[in-house]
Structure 1
Amino acid sequence: MTRRFALLVAVLGLVFGASVAGPVAGAATSVTFEAPSVEVRFGQAITWSQGFGSATPPARVELMTRLTGTETWFVQEVQAREVGQATTGGSAYRVDFIDGGFYLPNGVIDYRFRVTTPDGVVDGPRATVRIEDDRVTWKTLEGDVVRIHWYEGSEAFARRALRFGEEAVASASALLGVTETEPIDFYVYGDPTLLQTAIGPNTKEFVAGRAIAEIRTLFGAVAPDQIGSDWVPVLITHELTHLVFDTATQNVFHDPPHWLNEGLATYLSEGFGSGDRQRVANAIERGTLLPLDALASGFPQAREELFYLGYAEGTAAVDFFIRRYSEAKLVDLIRSYADGVTDDEAFRAATGAGIEAFGQAWLEDIGAREPKAYGPQPPAPGPTPADWAIGGGSATPAPTEGSGGPTPSATPGPDGGGAAQTGFLVGVIVAALFVIAAGVIVVIVRRGRPASSAAAPPAGPEDGP
């Protein structure tokens, strides 16, 4: 390769690289930012605000948000309005973006604005805001790891809830071999409706609690008439077990099956009780049992009975695992997910067979037949389009279910339609190879000529030696 050609390639590479890389962050030094601000109206909207000055009109302004501690920014384009002259020169602009999206209480959000001008891209200063449910006045009681937030009931209720919470964390941590040191917040709502609106607009009315591991926060509903009941330790133990389970299995690849997570939480908080046993027995009798792989990503929420059947089946599967393989093997199974293994790898290491084989063994143990698969089914075969028959082949309908006899095949007829199709493809390939070979020969011939045989263009004023 000649030096001049190498230089050309290098220049083209730089030009192409610059064109695909886009503007460089920090290049537009003519943009100056004020401190950003935010106004949170929980359950209604959040207003993100930013003032900035720019010597040139901005081509694009974006709001960037992310959950504190995570790496991925969520980017939304926003509109900036000109509000006068900037003290540093150019125009002053302001953004007041009203965001109607949903944000969980107790989540800490990083946010900043980004401005793109013809000069480049500049990121504004970063700030944080904690989302708070200010519809009620919270009281807080803090233990070694757990913090109880409540507004209904006495301090005695909160101390009882805190004791159950600390015991639940200690018990689950000892079982799974992990240590919890970061605080865990538990918000106890006295009104189930407030809970449902706090944890998401699509929350069903029969959901009594939720654990959000990403923000180490739990939410639960305890009505005033339930404050002294046995429901309190069940709810608190169940939800806190989820947080410990997440610590034990945390990895960047995928979550363990949902039924395993919920099954363990239920098993540790109330065991495989008579109510769940009856739900499983009824489902077996009615033929409505759900296969475990249908519960791997979540539980059905279309109907309340199916939602609670998911919990019952998950608990039944955990109970079976312990009886068949031991509690120590269950712990090994759960802890293995921290290594990023697949479901099959985790179950094969713990039981000697994959997750599908475990599901079959569980069905046999409870005396259930394999549930019938519903949902999308493969379509019935139809006729072959006439244009698909090349070289005179026949286009006859493919056999359909229940046709009552043999059906002619849609393969090419005896006149050689299949051979004609093959010959056509071979011809295309040969022609392509011929064109490539011709191009290579031309390049070789041109490179073999002496340099003096080609007339050099006249040197311009910018040409060097």
Structure 2
Amino acid sequence: MRRLPLMMMLFLLAGLVGAGQQSHVAAQGTAAGWDTAVRYEWGGAWHFELTGPPAGEGAAAALTVTILDQDATIYRSVALDGTQPVAVDVEILAHDMALRPFSVVTYSWEVSGENGTYIPSQTVVYEDNRFDWQREVYGGTAVIWAAKDETLGEITADITAASLIRIRQYLPIHDEPVLDVVVYPTMADLFTALRLTGEPIVDGHAHPDLQRVLVAAGSSRTAVQDLSRTLPHALVHHFLYQASPGQYDELPPWMVEGLATLLQEEPDFRYVAALETAVSEQTLIPLAELCQTFPSSEQQALLAHAQADSLMRYIQTTYGIQAIRNLITEYYDGATCEQGFERVLNQTTATLESAWRDTIIPQNPVKQLILNNLHWFLLLLGGFVYSALLILPPKQVVK
């Protein structure tokens, strides 16, 4: 039986959070006479509310909050006046809960005292309530989008399916995967959501441990172009993680980003400009550095992506897709960056980088002319030598 992502199941079953600047979620099936509710502002504070009858002498209310995708639990306790009806409002900042967009949160209350009770866990999805979301499930993909365009969900599902066909050529995806694709209306909205929750600011963001990716597209008019670039990129990150979660953080950054960029259906022309500038200014980043980490500054990160993309294309053109698959296998098995190059390509980091650079750095025109026509130059030189031997008079032998 295939397992649906938790967020997909919650969306299908309940639609647990309404739209608006502040969300209010009432609990279901609480103990008799007791009521609980949750309200929050996106990026701000959460309020966990509890009301009920007097709990009696020595009463206290204990709140347990669990963020499922973080495997983290927060506890709060409030002393109660046992003679008065209970009315508790516990505030916890979203930042303190380390919430990511669309995280799943559960909470429960336990009230001590002679009239105490236990209120079972309730579940809330940390939905970005700045928008009205639409939801549709296509096969194993749940598309959640904020634009009013009704066709955007289908477009997103189609691009996801096309991307999977290409990714399967490089990565082992045996079954029909299940995942959530969240589509923000603009890139600025996506960036704001990621910034408020402390996530890296990128065009397409993967939460592979949650089976979820976040991208942006405003309407069907621009969605194909936008999503053909960002969605395949995010999906490669997702499936590289799914193939071996324990090894994902150990994979060489150039390989992860190079493959993700290679499989974008829509090219990023910024990479071409960044690479040309770096070549002309002799500021290319050494491959040994890209084996270890990617720069954090925007300009250098763009160049790093451009180089990784170019190197991956060089490897595919020179050695074939199977070589890329073998490299990925070696890295999953714990090989270092250099060991992968040596075992699969029979190259060191330095020799591979040198060969790749020769394909992107313009040669001296005269030298390039000779290299491109070396066969003919050798034939011509041989002809000159042969002609000279025929023309020269024979050497006189003195007796």
TM-score, with structure 1 as normaliser: 0.56
Pairing 1:199–2:194 present: yes
AA in 1 matched with 2:105: I
On the 8 A contact 2:50/2:89 being kept in 1, the answer is: yes
Which of structures 1 and 2 has the bigger CA Rg? 1
Could you tell me how far apart the structure 1 residues matched to 2:149 and 2:264 are?
24
Distance 1:295 1:83, change over 3 A: farther
Pairing 1:170–2:171 present: no
What does 1:102-117 align with in structure 2 at a 5 Å threshold? 102-111=98-107
Could you tell me how far apart the structure 1 residues matched to 2:37 and 2:223 are?
43
The corresponding residue for 1:307 is: 301
The corresponding residue for 1:321 is: 315
Could you tell me how far apart the structure 2 residues matched to 1:264 and 1:359 are?
20
Could you tell me how far apart the structure 1 residues matched to 2:220 and 2:267 are?
26
Could you tell me how far apart the structure 2 residues matched to 1:104 and 1:348 are?
39
The corresponding residue for 2:27 is: none
The corresponding residue for 1:42 is: 42
The corresponding residue for 2:357 is: 366
| Aligned-partner SS, 1:103 | coil
Pairing 1:81–2:83 present: no
In the TM superposition, residue 344 of structure 1 has moved relative to its aligned partner by: 5.1
Distance 1:272 1:191, change over 3 A: closer
In the TM superposition, residue 258 of structure 1 has moved relative to its aligned partner by: 2.8
Pairing 1:265–2:260 present: yes
On the 8 A contact 2:261/2:305 being kept in 1, the answer is: yes
On the 8 A contact 2:206/2:237 being kept in 1, the answer is: yes
In the TM superposition, residue 312 of structure 1 has moved relative to its aligned partner by: 0.6
Q: CA deviation digits over 1:257-280, x for unaligned, max 9? A: 233222112111148776534422
On the 8 A contact 1:65/1:109 being kept in 2, the answer is: yes
What does 1:18-97 align with in structure 2 at a 5 Å threshold? 38-48=38-48, 63=64, 65-68=66-69, 72-75=71-74, 78=76, 80-84=78-82, 96-97=90-91
In the TM superposition, residue 333 of structure 1 has moved relative to its aligned partner by: 2.1
| Aligned-partner SS, 2:167 | helix
TM-score, with structure 2 as normaliser: 0.64
Pairing 1:351–2:345 present: yes
Could you tell me how far apart the structure 1 residues matched to 2:133 and 2:278 are?
42
| Aligned-partner SS, 1:251 | coil
**Alignment size in residue pairs:** 317
On the 8 A contact 1:280/1:312 being kept in 2, the answer is: yes
Could you tell me how far apart the structure 1 residues matched to 2:342 and 2:83 are?
68
Could you tell me how far apart the structure 1 residues matched to 2:130 and 2:349 are?
47
The corresponding residue for 1:254 is: 249
Distance 1:299 1:338, change over 3 A: closer
Unaligned 5+ segments in structure 1 are 1-33, 116-122, 370-465
Distance 1:289 1:110, change over 3 A: farther
AA in 2 matched with 1:185: D
On the 8 A contact 2:49/2:87 being kept in 1, the answer is: no
Point out which structure has higher relative CO (alpha carbons under 8 A, 6+ apart).
Answer: 2
What does 1:143-222 align with in structure 2 at a 5 Å threshold? 143-201=138-196, 207-222=202-217
In the TM superposition, residue 168 of structure 1 has moved relative to its aligned partner by: 0.8
AA in 2 matched with 1:109: V
AA in 1 matched with 2:214: F
What does 1:289-304 align with in structure 2 at a 5 Å threshold? 289-295=284-290, 299-303=294-298
The corresponding residue for 1:134 is: 129
